[in-house]
Structure formats: structure tokens, C-alpha cells
Amino acid sequence: MFFSETLLQEPSDKQTTRTWSEVASSRFKSRRSKHPRKKQRTNSQEYDDLLVFGYEVKTFRDDEMSKKVDEGNLLISWRGETENRILLDRYDVRNLLDDREQFKKASYTMSRRNEDIEQEKIIDEERWRDLDSESEDLFEMSEEERDEYIEEKKEKRTTDENKGYNYHYQYTEESQSYDETEESNNEVKSTYTPKYSVPVGMTTPLDNRVDEIIERTAKFLNASTDPQMEIVIQAKQASNPSFSFLNKEDPLYPYYKHVRVLLQT
């Protein structure tokens, strides 16, 4: 840094002559007094000698200069050439080159082995394994948008499952006996007694399998420290009917919340 001589104080008879370093040091000290150091908020002593300070800066809009930059008027010619000029920014590293031939890009063909391609596929699977963009999107949704999104996924799953099926509407004795068998199975399942006592009128699982899934999910979420974990599971299992109890519109949702409360006590 250079100081103009006009900035330095003139020596007088009453004032002893000071060196340039003394003047610069005094100016720096006076500047520090205007911006006192704040007390460190850390107990560590390794930052005691660290000083960080800054000055405010004003920015000015210059449309004329901006137009010159966009039109390339501030570019300079490489090596001052006048014919077949190559215009570069003054900070362009190519200004250091001495040979114009070095500006040409080398042409090459890249060939990859099949082993490398397969290896890259395996690496990509591992690289993006923990990334769940769907769950990330759900975090930014409101509760209403999240419910609509999950409902759309369920409808899409139902539509995909129904593709390829041929339906017939002619009842025969065989189909009627099948329906009666289904009704009898439902009656047997409805006699299942859940593991936890519930208030009167609360819908409970029809079999032990669903009850086990609800219990394990409740235990896992109660032990998790991530408040968004329920949303993550709901997003990942949106197309799985076994986890439909996570939806607030599902009849088993009150039972699921009831089990979570019981496991916390």
C-alpha cells in the first residue's frame, strides 16, 4: 500500500519526526478505536490474535459502462495484434501465451470400456442411495398438499393394479360361492382381538399382521429423534396399502395414534 506524501503530517519544531511505519501504525490504532473488538463468544484461546473488520461500500449503477461490457468494448487484443485479432479480457490467462497455436483445442475421442460403464452404474446407485427427492418435496408441502399428493399416489397405484384385468358381470353358482367364502373369511377376521385396549367405537385391525405393522411403526417413530420421520415413511410407503393407517383419512389412523400414546407411557 502506498501513501501520498500529502497524507503525512509535516514535521514541526515541537513535534518529533516520525517514521512511515510509526505513522501507519498510529493511523491503524485510531481506526481500531472507532471499531472496538467485540468480546469473543468462545472459550477457545486460538482466536485471540484474530481481528476481523470491514468497511461499508456503496454500489453505483452505471448503465453506460454495463453496455460497454456487454458489447465487448473493454476487451483487448492478444499481443496487440491488428489483423485476425483475438479479443480477450485483460485478466484472461491466455494473455500469457506466446504461441497462437496453443489456443486451438486438442481433438480427441474418449472411449470407455464396458467394465467402466458397469462400475459407474454401481457407483451411481450407491451415490444416490440416501437421496429421496420425493421426501424432500414433501417437507416443503403444506399438510393439505401432502394429503392430496399421497391420495393421488394411492389412486395411481389402484389404477395400475387394475390394468390387465378382465371383469365379467355374469353371476354363476361358482362366483356366488366364492363371494360367500370371502364373507365368511371376513367374519373370521373381524373376531380378531387387538393387542391394546381401545375406547368404544374405535376401529381396530382385522388381523394380527396389520396390528404388528402398526405396533412396530409406532415403536420406531417413538424412538426416532427426527420429527419428520413419519412424513418420510408415509411418502415411501404411499403405494403400500399395509401402511395406509398413516393417512389421517384412514379408519385405522386413530388406532395408530392411540398405540403411539400407549407406548410412550
Q: For residue 35, what pLDDT is reported?
A: 46
Going by their DSSP bridges, the two strands 87-88 and 76-77 should be labelled as antiparallel
Predicted pLDDT of residue 99: 85
Mean pLDDT along residues 141-154:
73
Average pLDDT of the chain is 73
Q: Which of 252, 245, 249 is nearest to 202 (CA)?
A: 252
75's grid cell: 476487451
Which pLDDT belongs to residue 75? 92
Instruction: Give the pLDDT score at 37.
Output: 47
Q: Is the pLDDT of residue 244 over 70?
A: yes
> What is the chain's alpha carbon radius of gyration, rounded to the nearest angstrom?
38
Confidence of residue 106 (pLDDT cuts 50, 70, 90): low
Segment 152-166, tens digit of pLDDT: 777 776 666 655 555
Enter the CATH code of domain 133-161+195-264: 1.10.10.790
The partner residues of 87 in beta bridges, in order of sequence, read 77
pTM, rounded to two decimals? 0.34
More confident of the two residues 70 and 28: 70
Asked if residue 122 has pLDDT above 70, the reply is yes
Q: What is the pLDDT of residues 205-233, one digit of tens each?
A: 888 888 888 998 888 888 888 888 888 88
Domain ranges of the chain: 63-95, 133-161+195-264
Q: What is the pLDDT of residue 241?
A: 85
75-103 confidence digits (pLDDT tens): 999 888 888 888 999 898 888 888 888 87
pLDDT at position 161 is 60
